[in-house]
Each structure stands twice: as structure tokens, then as C-alpha cells.
Structure 1
Amino acid sequence: MESFDVVVVGAGAAGMMCAIEAGRRGRRVLVIDHAAAAGEKIRISGGGRCNFTNINAGPANFLSANPHFAISALRRYTAKDFVGWVERSGIAYHEKTLGQLFCDGSAKQIIDMLLDAMREAGVALRLRTSVAQVDKTDDRFQLTLADGRKLACEALVVASGGKSIPKMGATGWGYEIAQQFGLRIIETRPALVPLTFEIGMLERLKPLAGVAVDAVAAHGKTRFAEAMLFTHRGLSGPAILQISSFWREGEEIVIDMAPGVDIAQTLKAARSGRGKQAVVTVLSEHLPRRLAQVIAEEAGATSNVGDLSDKAIAQLEAAVNAWRVKPVGSEGYRTAEVTLGGVDTRDLDSKTLAAREVPGLYFIGEVVDVTGWLGGYNFQWAWSSGWVAGQAV
């Protein structure tokens, strides 16, 4: 039976980061993954350019049953630390909106940087390798692989991710291991995911598929100002993906599709000064024409702006500046960028990511109940949690 100091299950961002740090400390480390290549989610992220972190990353940008849990890891290994590594590796990058950092070239540059560091640290990597069973003795773990081979290790790090994007091989394996060893699980669900409408609304909004607009999407006191996209299933785009992490089935979201524009005042001014213009024409000054057309038709405002009553203007204002819509669901894990929920942080040490009651067992990355906003935050949690665990295993 082969024996290692550390076995990391999961060759994603968090797993590779942890392995690198543990290897640099002189630990004998093996990383295994059932996939055919390491870092597959890194490869597809950011449209193939990898939104590898966000310069604004901090605890406020993460959701968790315990919002304070991520503070230690995020402070000990920051976005600035990872950016420094990217720069030392000669990888060119640029900032898009809201602090998001992307490679100028391919996401493969980040994967290669991590793989090179693993090799330099003496870390072994085995792909197309699945774990069938995990057992524990007093001071060691024994892993039985799918092909019957066995491995032993002092420390086992679960970096297997969540359930999002199953076509990339995502499973709930990490949650099963947590439960096997008595750790609690915060209910999981898709996050950063497009929202869907019921059939009747889809039919009414069918002409809008493909229309994009800058918007503010709100759920309670939480608001995100980014782009929104109408799809043939419902709504997508950054503003919707962000708010999806806060929304629950049966609840509504409120969308301002003309931020900074008081549609009521605009229509009243048009009614006084250019009453013969069509309502659609006035609305189209602030909205895509197809969207203006649907809003006007839904409100029955198909005549000239001069014919609008105050009540009709108020109805149009509500439709544009405060559109209240109740999605029926989401597109699910199939398109979700991350999984909300996961291993309960009450059962983990925030300074090491170790299971409190199971010596030698660690959980890092997406499998933990720490979920970031859209825009590089989840990668930063992967780097930070992996780095922290790598100092401890």
C-alpha cells in the first residue's frame, strides 16, 4: 500500500493550491482527481480567460451561515498575494468592471502556473482516479480507489467542489465524506444561476430573447447593478446571477431596467412637450426598442404619449423602474457557476479548515459553506482556503 503525508482529493483551484503549499513545507503530497485534466473549471472560467480573483475580495462578498468564518483565510492569503504570484509568473492580465481580474491570454496560463508549482514542490498528480471508500484508523486514513488499489495518508484534504456543472464531473462526493465522519451539511442549492419563468410569462416575453439591458436587480435590501439578459427560459446576465444567490423559490425580485432615469418624469415631460410621439418612441430613448414595445403593449399604452393618464404613467414607471417578477425556478446545477451551502463551518476550524472532531481531515474550496459573489470571488476563496490548509496539513 502506498503511503503519503497528505492526499488531496480534487485537482481544482483549492486542491492544487493546498498541495503546493504542503509540498513546499516538505510534505509528501498526492493529488487525485477523477477527471482527465486538472483545473477544468479554471479552464472554462471567464470565457476561457479565467477571472482569477477580484481586487475587492473581502468577507462582505461571501454568503455563509456563518459570515465571519471566511475572515481568517481571506486576511491571511489575499487577492494581492495571488496577483503577486501571477505577476511573478509573467502572466499578463487586465481589470474589467468592479475589480474583476482576467488573463489577457488563456486560462490555461493559470493552470500551467499551478501545475509547474506542484512539480517544483514535489507533488504527485494522478488523474482519472476515483475514490470508492474512505476509512480511518487512529492516526491514518485509508483510501480504496475505484480500481481496488489502496492508499494511506496522515492528512486527507477534500477539495472535490460542489454539484455545479455536472457535465464537468461535479458530484456530491465531498458532502458524503463529510457526513460519513459526522460533519453537518448546510442545505445545498444552485447559485450564480439564470432564473426561469412559467410558460405563460415566457410566451409573453418571447420577443425579448437576446435583449440585454443595464439593470439593478434587488431582493430585499440586496441590490446588484450590472447587465441583465432576457433568454428563452427567463433571465440571465451578471445582475441576475448575483441576485440568484439570495433569491428563494416563491419569492419575487425587483428590477430597475433604466437605472438613474425617472420614467414617470420623463413621460410627463414628453406628454407636455411632444404629445404626438408614440409612447414606444419615448421609452426607446432609455430602453432597447423591443423591450419598450413589450412594456407599452403589456400596459396597453400603444397610443401617443399625450394621451397617457397619470395612472398609465405610474403603471409604466413601475414596469420599468420597479418591475416585480416572481421566477418559478432556476436552470439548476447544469448552468450554476457555484453551489450554495455545503460543509457546515461550525464543524471546521477557520484558521486551518480542519474538521474539529476528526484529526487530519480538511475541507476546502466550494465544498465548504462559503460562496462568493460573481466576479472572481470564488476563486479567491479557493486560493485562500487552499493556502490556509496547506500550512496546516
Structure 2
Amino acid sequence: MRPQLFSSTIYVRIGDQEFQIPRDLFNNPGDSPNYFSLGFAIFFSTPTDVFPGLNQRTLLRPPSILPPAVPGRSARVFADLLHVLKGYPLYIRNDEHRAELIRDARYFHLKGLEQKLIAHHVSYNPTRRKREIVIRLEDVRQSGIAFAPDATPESSSATSSAPSPQPQTQQPPQPLQPQTASGTASGSGSASIAPSTGGWITYQRPYADSAPSELLLEVSGSTTTIDVTFMAPGRASARTQTLALGHASFSGQTKARVASLFQVIANKMNVPVTQPLGLLMLETGGGVGRLEPSPGNSGISGERVRVRIADDAQIVVDGKAWYGQDPETDEERSETERREGKRRKRRRTEGVEEDDDDAEWVIERGQWRIRMQPAAGGKMEAILCAVKLEAWSGERARNASRGFLG
């Protein structure tokens, strides 16, 4: 009788509604074991507790059994999850609806379904001849991150020795974790085997994607600030068509997530981690674990991450499209310099003469590619390459975008 119970249809009460769930709905990768399979294994492992009076031989019929109940979950949301599991497309009404679906998918341990529900967009870029995936920073899982070196004749020998990205559909998706005292992932070698050529970071959703795609990382919430150095007119690199360079700093949870992401990238490439251990050892009870997560501790970036803005990026600053020139007019610039006592000078950075008329942008929403390229000393460095940015350059522009509560 017990084997029949384990293979039969699942009866369960979610909220105020009862459901009959065919067990084959959980055959998709990542969806088993789950809340129901694990729960029913315990439920039917003690038949004397499940069937009161079963040990009495004078029963005229088998005792009744009530289906398990989950009163704290929504029947409406669970019905939507079953709709997706059955193979039907689901219309997600808004961000709140998506958050409800993902929250309950996690509650019931449907990890494969969760990856299908997170906000993302996969497409083919005919210009770059690559598949791309846009995904939010908070939805990135470390098992899906990989490095794809540039496909050039000079790097063919390096790429042949580097491990190629493999589908990781059998490993549970792990969220980006804060840095640990060891600073490296378990099983990674101590010697650096980072390729000598540059490349791009790719991503493959666990259980959901069959192949990796070039990662376009979306960061929102006005937690990114970049100082922009505009290239002098006529001085932009002809090869990269770089319009501006800069450095990005992050705040709040975004800073911790970027630090964790860079740490995972460094671990995947076996890049040595740099930690200020000497200073920390001076503190009693101190340690790396108590250090605030920072991109500067990843080994592939400084405290402020390098940023590159090329002419193919779509940039909107203070509600107006930006095409590479200083957004201020000469009159506005003169007024700004008079008011703030700003001095202008010329300098050379990376062998390219620039106009050191810097500006600071707060990024409301941004999409970035992550470029890995060799830096001084044979190390690898992460560079955020802008794809699409919505920014404001002053408090007035930010206030103009505010809405009234009424």
C-alpha cells in the first residue's frame, strides 16, 4: 500500500483550496526534491500516526485521512505555479505578481521553476554575433557565471587550455555569498591560471538554459555613482570609440552583491585574492570575515570599479540623450566653474589625452557588460562597459523626477 501512496496523485490543501497534483509535474530539472516529495516521505513513513486506529483489526473500512494543508500560502499564486509547471505560458501582471510567484516557488523548493520566473531577457545580437541575457544583479547565481575569452588567433592557444563553459543544470543555484576568510572557492587552485587574453563574462541560468549567453547585468535603485571623464574632442580612441572613462562606486546591498560577484569571477578564473590581512591582524578578534564586502578585495578590481562608455551605449542624462560630449554648454560651464571654483586641466590617461572636465552621474538604472582584460603586473581586471544608462547629474534633476504621493 505504501508504494502506491508514494506514486499516486498528490492531494494537498493550499490556503482555502484543495489541489490534485500529478507527480510527473515535478519531473523538470531542479523541481525535485521539493516541499511535497520530502513532506510526503515523512508523512507516510509513520503509518500509525497517519491512520488513527489502523492497528485495530475490527475496523469495517480503512480510516479516513485528511490531505496535508499549507494554510499560510495563497491558493491563487499556487494555481499560477501549477499553470506554468503544466507547460502553459503565464502572463505576469506586474513586479508584485512576479515577486509573489518567486517567493512561493522558493517556499516549495521548485528551483527550476524559480529560474524561469525571474525577470530576464535572452536574445541574439546580430552585430556582436552572440546570444545575450539581461538579468538583474540580485538574481545572479554563482553556478551560472563563466568567462569566455576573445576568439582571436593570438588567444587560440590560451583558450584551448582554458576550460570551456559547460551546462550546469544539475547543480543547485547558489546565491552570491559574502566573501569568506579563505577568499577563494573550495577546490580552486592556488596558482593563477587566468588567460592572458581578455574576454567577457557569460551567464547561464541553472536548470533553465542549455548554453551560456553574454551577461548584461542590470543594476537599479540609484545605488551606483560614477565619475565621468569626457574624452577631449577628436581624441577618442579610433579602435574602441571610447567617449568617456570613469570609476563606479556602489552603496548598500549593491556594493555587497558586486563584491560577491567579482569574488565569484575571480574564483572561476583562479585569480589570487588580495586582502589587507596585516591591518586586520592588529585588531583583537578581527578577521577577513568581519571586513565589509568591497570590490577592491576581489583581486580583479579596485575599490572603485573602472567604467568605459563607448559610442554604442544608449545614455540618458537628466532626461536628455547623451552622445559623448560634455552635456554642459560653455556658458553653463563657466557659471559652474565660477560658482564651485572648479579648475580645469589636461592630463593623459592610458595614453589618450583627455579633457579633465569631470562630472558625477548617479545611475538610476543601468545595464553593463563585464569585460575582463589584462592589467599591469599580468593580472586580470574587471571593467564595466555601459550598454544602457539612465542617470542624473544633480539634485535638481533628481527632484524633477520625483512624483507626489497623491
Question: One fold, TM greater than 0.5?
Answer: no
Which one has the largest radius of gyration?
Answer: 2
Q: Normalised by the shorter chain, which TM-score bucket? A: under 0.3
Answer 1 or 2: which has greater helix percent. Answer: 1
Higher relative contact order (CA 8 A, sep 6+): 1
- TM-score, normalization: structure 2? 0.20
